Amino acid sequence: MIRINLLPHREMRRKQQEQQFYILLGGVVAIGVAIWFMVHTYLSDSHTSQQARNGFLEQEITKLDKQIEEIKKLREQIAALLARKKVVEALQANRAEVVHLLDQLVRQLPDGMYLKGIKQTGNKVTITGYTQSQARVSTLMRNLEASAYLKNPGLVEIRATQQAGQRINEFTMNIDVTRAETEAAAAKPAPDPRKPVMKPAAKG
């Protein structure tokens, strides 16, 4: 009977299996390392890209903040210019109103009367002046009542006084100004001061 020793064959087979195992293990490890490297690279690239996007967004936000600040300053400048424009328009309107008021007062003032002062508060005008007689004050009040611009004259005071050694009367009178007429007059050119102003004939 022939006897065959199988130990060397089994030992070789075991070594082959161990080699295959280590080869397989090495392959798995290599694949795992490759996968880890790819994931790490992907995440690193993603992080870098995200940082770049964040940096870009921060720059854009900074630009927008500057633009918003510039727009805010521009709006403030526009508001200031509009306010100045309104002030200038108001001054121009007031100047035209004052010129028209003086023109109307001179037109209604009888001979023998002289104005000393004019004060306007809103639609109220207070005038002070001198007159040679009280009758001329009555004439002035009638002329003012007939005016389309000046209304409701009211005599506050009239008293005798001395001016340059002459006895005359000093008076104070309140008058209402019609605002609609004022605005219409402000749109018209001021009267030419070189042209003579005709006064109503004195009465009394």
Within a domain: residue 57? no
Bridge pairing between strands 150-163 and 113-121: unpaired
> In whole angstroms, what is the distance from residue 23 CA to residue 17 CA?
10
pTM exceeds cut of 0.95: no
Q: What is the mean pLDDT of residues 21-38?
A: 88
- Which residues are paired to 176 by β-bridges? 124, 151
Contact 129, 169 (CB under 8 A): no
pLDDT in tens, 52-80: 888 889 999 999 999 999 999 999 999 88
CATH of the domain at 139: 3.30.1360.100
Domain of 177, in residue numbers:
91-186
Residue 70 belongs to a domain: no
Structural domains of the chain, count: 1
